[in-house]
Structure 1
Amino acid sequence: MRRRGLTVLLGALLTTLLSIGVLAAPIPYVVLGPGPTVNTLGSDNGKEVIQVTGRETSTSAGQLRLTTVGVQPSVKLRSAIQGWFSDDEAVVPRELVYPPGETQEEVEERNAEDFKVSQSSAETAALRELGFPVRIVVKTVAADGPSAGILKPGDVVTSVDGQPATAAGRLTELIRAKPAGTTLEVGYTRDGAAAIARITSQEQDGRPRIGIEIDQEQPHPFTLKIDLTDIGGPSAGLMFALGIVDKLTPEDLTGGRIIAGTGTIDDDGRVGPIGGIAQKLVGARDAGATAFLVPADNCAEAVRNPQPDLPLLRVATLDDALHALQALRAGDHPARC
């Protein structure tokens, strides 16, 4: 009898040890949770997030908070089980965050680069909104290219086939929209005089090109700098752009509220979708936000993951976001998801 009892005890002990080992074993998943939120109108680590030199800035009674997603890169079964039962977290396959063939360090480096690009595009879009247009200036002309003898360095390209070339990326899109060998009507100015040139694109590296190098310029009489570390990815672009517009205009865009949001932005002010919207809504809730700016393409997912008393405002462009904030200040009802 004593022997049988000892056997049962040893079996239970072994089962417990085995269970502990399994629960502590790493698995190919990551846990996503709400990350930190940052007020783009405020300071982080003792420094203003958006810094302007050479022009007076305004102050706001409210906040414009960018939202982030926290990632647990090394997950054990115990943490995954907790995440599966959590309303605020999500457990997803590791390869969705860290693609096969890429190390965690490489992914983080790419996210850091995307973050820098988002800042640049936010500045471009915001300055355009404030009346500082983008100029696409011809830097060089290939001697044997389609534009040789037609365009010159210093020319400002303004359109392709009547479509405005509002940014360097847009010019590339317009040229590549038609197959190589297409004759394009390229609008430009030289010494202040407008003209149109007929240029036939040629294929190079598998893509239509017109044989010029360009610079994107946006002259403005002050300097802008975004100073924020430990955040990666492109999804803060919209909130940076709104922060810049708020600081450089007298009106308080927030109306004294805490407004959170997310979304990529391009040079033309178009807002794009992001990942982790459910976790970002939780972060906004915890930060006391009273409204959330949602990229239009994320609306369906956001509606499936609502937070109490947090209206979801649908935006597809920077102008949409500005109109939504204006409606809030006026007591009207902006477009919702």
Structure 2
Amino acid sequence: MPRRTATLLTSILLLIGLLCAGVLINVPYAEMSPGPTVNTLGEHDGEPVLNIEGHETYEASGHLNMTTVRVTGVDYRMNLLEAVSGWLAADAAVVPYRTLYPERVSADEVEQQNAEEFTASQESAKVAALEAIGYDIPAQTIVAAVVRDSPSEGRLHAGDAIVAVDGTKITEPGQVAELVTQHEPGEDVVFTIVPAEQAQAAQEAGEELPTDTEDVTITTAAADDDQRAIVGIQAGVTHTFPFTIDIKLADVGGPSAGLMFALGLIDRLTPDDLTGGAFVAGTGTIDDEGRVGQIGGVSMKVIAAREAGAEYFLTPENNCAAAAENAPDGLTLVRVATIDDALTALEDIREDRTEDLPLCSAS
């Protein structure tokens, strides 16, 4: 066999071997890529994203798009060839697997966590939006969950409104654990509650909690990790809204759409056209006070926004540097830390005062 032919054959066999190894060798990485964007002012799968009953609504001409990221699933194992391909791609990000999935969790657990975060973000978006336009939204601490085989099982129930603990009025969820841990394991704690059924009925009717309460005595147990007193519940918060708001968006999870949901609600509930017809996208968590929080995958979200046609991208302050490093041409990154910042930016956009916008920079 001629030397040239032998060399060529050896090279081909080596290449085939490398490709096979690349396919067969799994690596501890996962991939993120741009996901779909949805206009919160419009429809998704034939249904309005924001459904409002009991309050006048207004038409809006522009876009307020929430953005998403596609990620490889918790059970997916990337091979070496896929990792190299992702590293070379401009519209993908290969990250350590534990960055996306830091603990050993199942696909069902990831889906449940994403759904819970999404529901919580909707609740906070409603509160932030309504309070931004002048409503006072009452909050009530509730039993969010009861731990199986805990002292509270069968005694307290998810949805029970917690009025007081040991006679101390409860105004926010953090108080519950503070008051319980003042006890030693084995001591009694008295919860003053309104049962879930009555509490939910009052909430749906937009009324205050009934004055008829029940006292439930729970004997504390010791926590496994540090022997502090526990009763085995997770405290949460629910709100009483003056009218019905239903956010419908299937196949989306996590908390990062909170800001855009809140802005969409304000646009639909007030006569001002927030965008003035501009195509604005964005991302960011939001809390009840309207503070905008950092999210993951921002470099992929700005790509998704520009591909959808966005001209402006509302960017959480702490994501600005990462977003600016790979910002696509034609997309203006606007820095926001609160819902008021976002509303001011939208006013500048619709009034064509774009020189006043606080822009993100890579530094």
Partners of 1:309 and 1:278 lie apart in 2 by 15
Match of 1:46 in 2: 46
Fraction of identical pairs, as percent: 43
Match of 1:102 in 2: 105
Partners of 1:218 and 1:78 lie apart in 2 by 52
User: Is 1:232 equivalent to 2:253 in the alignment?
Assistant: yes
Cα distance, 1:137–1:9 mapped onto 2, change above 3 Å? closer
Q: How does 1:1-337 map to 2 (within 5 A)?
A: 1=1, 11-12=10-11, 14-25=13-24, 26-73=26-73, 74=76, 75-136=78-139, 139-141=161-163, 145-147=166-168, 168=172, 172=174, 216-220=238-242, 222-332=243-353, 333-337=356-360
The letter of the residue matching 1:119 is: Q
The letter of the residue matching 1:19 is: L
Cα distance, 1:233–1:11 mapped onto 2, change above 3 Å? same
Q: 1:140 touches 1:214 (CA, 8 Å); kept in 2?
A: no
Deviation of residue 29 (structure 1)? 1.0
Deviation of residue 70 (structure 1)? 1.1
The Cα offsets for residues 94-127 of structure 1, whole Å up to 9 and x where unpaired, read as 1111224122332232112111111111111111
Normalising by structure 2, we get a TM-score of 0.71
Partners of 1:107 and 1:51 lie apart in 2 by 27
Cα distance, 1:260–1:103 mapped onto 2, change above 3 Å? same
Partners of 2:164 and 2:176 lie apart in 1 by 19
The letter of the residue matching 1:17 is: I
Match of 1:185 in 2: none
Cα distance, 1:303–1:16 mapped onto 2, change above 3 Å? closer
Q: 1:124 touches 1:218 (CA, 8 Å); kept in 2?
A: no
Q: 1:132 touches 1:218 (CA, 8 Å); kept in 2?
A: no
Q: 2:311 touches 2:331 (CA, 8 Å); kept in 1?
A: yes
Deviation of residue 137 (structure 1)? 5.1
Q: 1:115 touches 1:234 (CA, 8 Å); kept in 2?
A: yes
Please list every run of 5 or more consecutive structure 1 residues that lacks an aligned counterpart in the other structure: 158-167, 182-189, 191-203, 208-212
Cα distance, 1:62–1:214 mapped onto 2, change above 3 Å? closer
Normalising by structure 1, we get a TM-score of 0.76
Deviates more, 1:239-248 or 1:108-117: 108-117
The Cα offsets for residues 28-50 of structure 1, whole Å up to 9 and x where unpaired, read as 21111111101000111111111
Q: CA RMSD in A?
A: 3.1
The letter of the residue matching 1:324 is: A
Partners of 1:296 and 1:64 lie apart in 2 by 18
Cα distance, 1:68–1:244 mapped onto 2, change above 3 Å? same
Q: 2:278 touches 2:350 (CA, 8 Å); kept in 1?
A: no
Cα distance, 1:32–1:136 mapped onto 2, change above 3 Å? closer
Match of 1:187 in 2: none
Structure 1 residue ranges (4+ consecutive) displaced by more than 6 angstroms after TM superposition:
4-7, 173-176
The letter of the residue matching 2:47 is: K
The letter of the residue matching 1:129 is: A
Deviation of residue 146 (structure 1)? 4.9
Deviates more, 1:124-133 or 1:40-49: 124-133
Please list every run of 5 or more consecutive structure 2 residues that lacks an aligned counterpart in the other structure: 142-160, 184-207, 209-221, 230-234
